[in-house]
A = this chain, B = another copy of it.
Amino acid sequence: MIEWFDDLALGTRFKSASKLVTREEIKRFASEFDPQPYHLDEAAAEQTPLKGLAASGWHTAAIAMRLAVDTRPFGAHPLLGLGVDELRWLAPVRPGDTIHIEGEVIELTPSKTKPQGIAKVKWTAINQRGEPVYTFTPIAVVPRRPGATTSV
C-alpha cells in the first residue's frame, strides 16, 4: 500500500479506471473553455487537420486529472502539483472513445529542508484501441513518512 513519498520507487506503476468521453461532454467543455470548430461543429471539424470532431486537449487533460485523482497514487495524500513537464497531445480523442491512464514513477527527489519529496509520475492516456492519445508528467509534492527523514 503506497501512502508516503518513502513508499514510492522508480518504476512503480499505476493504472486507472476507464472513462467514456461523450459528444455532449466534448461540446459542453469546449463551449466554456475552448470554443473552436474542431470541438464544437462536426461539419467544420471535418475541414480541419483533426478531420472530425475531437475533444479539446484541455478537456483530455482535465479527464486525465480526474482519472489520476481516482487512482490515488499517493494513498490518502492528495495530488498537489507545482506544474507539469512534457505535456503532449498525441492523437485526437473522439466522441465515444473510452480512455484510461497508466503511470510510472520516473523521478524521486527528497527535499533537503522539508518532510516531503518531489515525485514525477509520467502518465499516458490510452484509448480503447490501445493508442496513446496524451501524456503528461506532473511535478507532485508528497509528504515523507513521519520519522523517515531522521532515520537516514
A residues near B (Cβ < 8 Å) are 29, 32-38, 48-50, 56-58, 61-63, 65-66, 69, 78-89, 141
Contact = CB atoms under 8 A, between A and B. Distances in A.
Contact of A80 (B49, B86, B141): B49
Contacts of A84: 84, 87
Given A29-B62, A58-B58, A84-B87, 4 more contacts: A33-B65, A34-B65, A49-B80, A82-B89
A69 B57 CA distance: 13
A33 B56 contact: no
Count of identical protomers in the assembly: 2
Given A62-B62, A87-B87, A57 B81 contact: yes
Given A48-B78, A89-B81, A65 B58 contact: yes
Contact of A33 (B66, B78, B82): B66
Given A58-B65, A62-B58, A87-B87, A79 B33 contact: no
Contacts of A89: 81-83
B82 A88 contact: yes
Given A37-B78, A89-B81, A58 B61 contact: yes
A22 to B, nearest CB: 13
Nearest to A89: B83
Contact of A36 (B56, B58, B79): B79
A80 B58 CA distance: 12
Nearest to A34: B65
